[in-house]
Every structure is written in structure tokens, then in C-alpha cells.
Amino acid sequence: MIFIGFWITVLMAFHCTAIAEAGPYTLNEPDMPFPPALPTAQNLQAICHSGGGRPRYPDSFFPSSGSSHFRRIGAAVNRLESWFTLCCSGTVAQTNDQILCCATQAWKQALSLFCKAEYSTMTLVYECCEYKDEAKWTCFDDGPANPLYNPTPGYAAPNVSTESGLFSFDSSAC
């Protein structure tokens, strides 16, 4: 009897180790590159010309429940991409310096709105949202998933609702 109890304990230990090694977030967690990189002179060309090849997140992308944090990430990315389109269109900014300034303002405002949404929940907020001022932006730009804004090969972004009315480029801040 002791022998059987020993083997049950050993098997349970192996099983629990395998579960722990899988990590805490393996069930239906969407693969979403986040946070987006800070716009720079080096990635501005890709921001403006490869937007249709970067991921967007329509509501149908997410499971029906249990993904509110990922929905907030998706909304931030969708919002930012729509605002990049506005900055790059030539209607609000004409020169590369103005376009870069516009894209940077869009990046900061989209991530600020993301943080505001994070704080509106009763869950832990995204780490960078806890910082203030320049430390927040440094955190968001520390090791972004796609720093050069490269498109995903073979991907064509679906149409998602745009929120261009929430963003206003301030050319005097450049």
C-alpha cells in the first residue's frame, strides 16, 4: 500500500511540473505584438507604407469571453494604425518631420488611451501604464515586438472601425 502511494505521489509531481512549465497564460491567449514601437526616422517609411500588412484586431479575432485585456490591446493597435494613416495621408502633415511628429503624437495618445482603459478595470494594469511622463514612453518603447513596423508576409489587414475623430495633430508641438 505504501508502494502504491509512493508512485501516485511521483506521478502527481511529474504532472504538476509539466503544467507549471507550460506557463500561466497558455489557454486561448491571442498572439498580439504589443507594445508598438515609438515612431522614428528609421521606421517612418514602414509606418506609412506597410500599414496594410500589419495586424488589426476586429471583434471576431477574440474569444467571446475572458479576453478584455487583449481587447484593450487590440483597440489601441487599431486606433494607432488608423491615426498613422491620417498622419501619413498628407492631409494633416506634409513634410517628413511633420509626419514623424504626428505619428509620435498619435503613438503617445493611443497608448495614453490604452492606459486609461487599463485603469478603468479592476485588474492589474499593464506595467508601463504605472509610470509617469518620459518614463512611461521609455517603458513602452523598451523592446517592442516589431520596432521597424515590418509587415507580416501574406497578411492583408481587415477593415476595422477608425477613430480618427479622437486624434488631433498639434503641429505647434513639433
CA distances to 31, 62, 137, 148, 158 from 162, rounded to whole Å, are 22, 18, 24, 23, 12
**Count of domains observed in the chain:** 1
Q: Is residue 8 part of a domain?
A: no
Domain of residue 61: give its range. 30-173
- Does residue 154 lie within any of the structural domains? yes
In residues, how long is the chain?
Answer: 174
The model carries a pTM of: 0.81
In a domain, 10, yes or no: no
Residue-wise DSSP of 41-108: TTTHHHHHHSGGGS----GGGS-SSS-HHHHHHHHHHHHHHHHHHHHHTSSS--SHHHHHHHHHHHHH
Cell of 96: 517628413
Q: Could you list the pLDDT tens digit for every one of the 174 residues in the chain?
A: 554 544 344 334 333 333 333 334 445 567 888 999 999 999 999 999 999 999 999 988 888 777 888 999 999 999 999 999 999 999 999 999 999 999 999 999 999 999 999 999 888 999 999 999 999 999 999 989 899 999 999 999 998 876 656 898 999 999
What is d(CA 92, CA 170) in angstroms, rounded to the nearest whole number? 9
